[in-house]
Amino acid sequence: MDVSNRRALPGLAYPEDYLKRLADDLAVRFTGIFSLETVERYVLESYAALLRVSRVKAHLATRTVRFAADRLTALAQAKGAVPYEAHEVLFVCVQNAGRSQMAAVLTATLSGGAVHVRSAGSMPSHELNPAVIAVMEELGLSMSQEFPKPLTDDVVQAADVVVTMGCGDACPIYPGKQYQDWDLTDPDGLDIDEVRQIRDDIADRIRTLLAGLGVSAVAL
């Protein structure tokens, strides 16, 4: 059988041992809630899911741990094993590269931590939209820790408010949650002035959302 030299192949060497060590560390945080096997599954599947959509591989392991930890926390919340410390709002758009990312960071900031936020995309992009990063930096808000993530079941289960933005049928409507659908322009391909307008539109909607949750918005 003609098996090609592995080094000549496309694809990234799979850091299985390293990921398993990361899972071991993460499992400590979920002792008594999830088995090591479950945590390891989440880490390995989260890695595979992010790898598929990432062009830059430099931060993949770090992002995997954050994504897996956040999903496991969501799952633990949904099954009542971890208390909700704040309202849980989930923003879902198509690429998780612009609208839902701005909304997540703006909500966390405007709520002064009184709302916990997650975001996801039905068809996640490779990277964040650079114009989005720029207009958020104008407000002093860094997007450097954010990255596009696929919509997973666990984060919807954990949310009490889900805000969808143009993902149509790809966003399932789970029972027992509050939904809002925001009709926002997709910033993909727009110039920075237009993206700035979308950012301000999102900020206005978030102030209304926070008021509805009984949370006072702080000044930006």
3-state secondary structure of 137: helix
Instruction: State the minimum distance, in angstroms, from the CB of residue 185 to its own copies.
Output: 16
Residue of 83, 140, 175, 189 interacting with its own copies (CB under 8 A) = 175
**Residue placing its CB nearer to its own copies in the complex, 10 or 32:** 10
CA–chain centroid gap for 55, Å, is: 17
**Residue placing its CB nearer to its own copies in the complex, 21 or 57:** 57
Rounded Cα distance between 41 and 68, Å, is 9
Residue 57 interacts with its own copies (CB under 8 A)?
A: yes
**Residue placing its CB nearer to its own copies in the complex, 120 or 128:** 120
Number of amino acids touching its own copies (CB under 8 A): 55
What is the pairing mode between strands 115-121 and 161-164?
unpaired
Question: 208 to each of 82, 116, 211, 217, how far by Cα in Å?
Answer: 28, 16, 5, 9
**Pattern 184-213, its own copies, x by CB under 8 A:** ------------------------xx-xxx
* Tokens representing residue 171 in the block: 């966003």
Contacts to its own copies from residues 104-133, by CB under 8 A: 122-123
Residue 144 interacts with its own copies (CB under 8 A)?
A: no
To which H or E segment does residue 215 belong? none
* Tokens representing residue 114 in the block: 């009184």
Instruction: State the minimum distance, in angstroms, from the CB of residue 108 to its own copies.
Output: 18
Instruction: State the minimum distance, in angstroms, from the CB of residue 46 to its own copies.
Output: 9
Contact 152/105 with Cβ under 8 angstroms?
A: no
